Amino acid sequence: MGQAKMIDIYIMGKKYEVPSDLTVMQAMEYSGYKLIRGCGCRGGFCGACGTVYRTPDDFRIKVGLACQMVVEKDMQFIQIPFFPANKKKYDIDEFNADLPSLMKLYPEISRCVGCNTCTKGCPQNIEVMDYMAAAIRGDIEAVAKMSFDCIMCGLCASRCPAEEVQYYVAILARRLFAKHVVPRASHLEDKSKEIEEGLLDEEINKIVAMNKEELKNLYDNRDIE
């Protein structure tokens, strides 16, 4: 394969020339940026590299993950590794899996206008507007299941005209669903008891002593149900 052609991009308004096959994150590092915030797993799972960008001859402002998007000629971007949002503190045992619980902590869900900008901004292709509609109906199970792949990057909230924080509503629903609706996993409780009683100490110590390659092989060859 031939060498990638060089293209111009703009990082925070400053022009840089980078190879055209790099991701936005790689292009930033190629341009000399040392990423301390706004980078994490580099695989599209942690949600730490939210990015706002525009491309030439397109009026729309777009969002995505810096580790997943490949640079485009003359694109302009800036990272928002954390989008400001007020997270409510609560004791999950004091709330039920119902609409009143959601409304008490996040009453702003009633402001949703169904514009679908949250869905358009989601890099995971989650139907955010649909799970917010389920939240307004008090369907906690639907919210929990529809938002399961959320990585809490905040990009849905960054575009919301009603100024909601969809991903905090979603994680509250998942916690309520897990606490009050999903049956307890008896096999997990049994295994935790075995660990507490020291019955698995030998096996645990064996795993702790493994090197990286041995751990990788153990993981790759594990039994998957």
**Res. 178: pLDDT tops 90:** yes
Helical H runs in the chain? 24-30, 99-105, 117-121, 128-137, 140-146, 155-158, 166-180, 186-196, 201-208, 212-220
- Choose among 40, 37, 123: nearest CA to 82: 37
Q: What is the CATH number of the domain that holds 18?
A: 3.10.20.740
43 Cβ neighbours under 8 A, 6+ residues apart:
67
Are both 36 and 72 inside the same structural domain? Answer: yes
Lowest mean pLDDT among 16-20, 94-98, 105-109, 189-193: 189-193
Do 23 and 73 sit in the same domain of this protein? Answer: yes
- Round the average pLDDT of the chain to a whole number and report it: 93
Same domain, 145 and 199: no
pTM check: above 0.85? no
Q: What mean pLDDT comes out for the span 28-40?
A: 92
pLDDT for the residue 1: 53
Task: Verify that 152 and 96 share a domain, yes or no.
Answer: yes
136 falls within a domain = yes
121-169 residue pLDDT tens: 999 999 999 999 999 999 999 999 999 999 999 999 998 999 999 999 9
Do both 166 and 105 map to the same domain? yes
Q: Which domain holds residue 44?
A: 6-79
The answer to whether residue 134 sits within a structural domain is yes
Which contiguous run of DSSP H or E holds residue 90? none
Output the pLDDT for position 159.
Answer: 86
Is residue 128 located within the same domain as residue 174?
yes
- Cα dist from 156 to 21, 45, 115, 130, 223, whole Å: 27, 16, 12, 13, 36
Q: How many domains does the chain have?
A: 3
- Give the per-residue pLDDT at 2: 66
Q: Can you tell me the distance from the alpha carbon of 51 to that of 57, in angstroms, rounded to the nearest whole number?
A: 19
> Is position 84 within any domain?
no
